[in-house]
Amino acid sequence: MAQQNFRTCPTTGLKVHLPAEGLIKANAVVAVVAILIGGIAALAVLLTRVPAVHILPADWFYRLLTAHALDMLVVWIIFFEVAGLYFGGAVLLNSRLAAPKVAWFAFLLMVVGAVIVNAIVLMGGADVTFTSYPPLKAHPAYYLGIILFAVGTLTAVGLFFGTLAIAKKEKTYDGSLPMVTFGLMSAAIIAVLTLAHGAAIYIPTFLWSIGVLPSIDPSMYRIIWWGFGHPSQQINVCAMVSVWYLLATLTTGAKPLNEKLCRTAFLLYVLFINVASEHHLLVDPVLSTAHKIVNTSYVMHLAVLASMIHAFAVPAMTEVALRNKGYTKGLFEWLKKAPWGEPGFSAMMLSLFIFGFVGGITGVTFGTEQISIIRHNTWAITGHFHGTVVGGTTLAFMGLTYYVVPLIFRREIISKKAAQIQPYLFGIGVFIMANAMMFAGSYGIPRRHWDITFAGAAFPYSFDPTAMLFMTLAGLGGLLAITGGAIYVLNTVGSVFFGKKIS
Partner 1 sequence: MSISVPEKGWYSKPLDKEEKVWVAIAVAWCLLTFFLMPVWHVVGKQNPSSESYKVDPVKFNELAAAFAEKYKVGEENGIPVVRPPAGSDVFVVAGSYQWRPILELEKGKEYRIHLSSTDFQHGFSVVSPKFVMNYMALPGYDYVLKVTPTEAGTYSIICNEFCGMGHHIMIGKLIVK
Amino acid symbol at 283: V
Site string for partner 1, 446-465 (x = CB under 8 A): xxxxxxx-x-xxxx-x-xx-
Distance CA 133, CA 364 (A): 24
> Which of 10, 253, 326, 341 contacts partner 1 by CB under 8 A?
253
> Which of 232, 372, 435, 492 contacts partner 1 by CB under 8 A?
372
DSSP 6: E
Question: Is 252:339 a contact under the CB 8 Å cutoff?
Answer: yes
Query: For partner 1, which stretch binds (CB under 8 A), given 97-105, 111-119, 229-237, 276-284?
Result: 276-284
Distance CA 343, CA 197 (A): 36
Query: For partner 1, which stretch binds (CB under 8 A), given 33-41, 174-182, 188-196, 226-234?
Result: 174-182
Q: How far is CA 68 from CA 64, 170, 493, in A?
A: 6, 43, 20
Residues in contact with partner 1, counted by CB under 8 A, come to a total of: 90
Amino acid symbol at 143: Y
> Which of 104, 105, 173, 340 contacts partner 1 by CB under 8 A?
173
User: Is residue 245 close enough to count as binding partner 1 by CB under 8 A?
Assistant: yes
Peptide bond into 10 cis (omega under 30): no
Whether the CA torsion 337, 339, 341, 343 is positive or negative: it is: negative
Q: Is residue 326 packed enough to be buried (19+ CB in 10 Å), middle (13-18) or exposed (0-12)?
A: exposed
Least distance (Å) between residue 415 CB and partner 1? 27
Nearer to partner 1 among residue 44 and residue 481 (C-beta): 44
Nearer to partner 1 among residue 284 and residue 412 (C-beta): 284
Least distance (Å) between residue 483 CB and partner 1? 28
Amino acid symbol at 477: G
Least distance (Å) between residue 298 CB and partner 1? 6
User: Is residue 324 close enough to count as binding partner 1 by CB under 8 A?
Assistant: no
Distance CA 450, CA 159 (A): 42
Query: For partner 1, which stretch binds (CB under 8 A), given 25-33, 72-80, 188-196, 297-305?
Result: 297-305
Question: Is 243:400 a contact under the CB 8 Å cutoff?
Answer: yes
Site string for partner 1, 204-233 (x = CB under 8 A): -------------xxx--x-----------
Distance CA 324, CA 427 (A): 28
Distance CA 65, CA 57 (A): 12
Least distance (Å) between residue 497 CB and partner 1? 27
User: Is residue 58 close enough to count as binding partner 1 by CB under 8 A?
Assistant: yes
Q: Give, as ranges, the residues between 384 and 443 that touch partner 1 (CB under 8 A).
A: 442-443
> Which of 105, 161, 312, 353 contacts partner 1 by CB under 8 A?
312
Least distance (Å) between residue 247 CB and partner 1? 9
Q: Tell me the three state secondary structure of residue 404.
A: helix
> Which of 151, 192, 199, 259 contacts partner 1 by CB under 8 A?
259
Q: Give, as ranges, the residues between 82 and 111 that touch partner 1 (CB under 8 A).
A: 92
End-to-end Cα spacing for the chain: 24
Beta strands at 6-8 and 15-17: parallel, antiparallel or unpaired:
antiparallel
Q: Tell me the three state secondary structure of residue 16.
A: strand
> Which of 288, 330, 331, 501 contacts partner 1 by CB under 8 A?
288
User: Is residue 316 close enough to count as binding partner 1 by CB under 8 A?
Assistant: yes
Strand partners, 411: 501
> Which of 257, 271, 428, 489 contacts partner 1 by CB under 8 A?
257
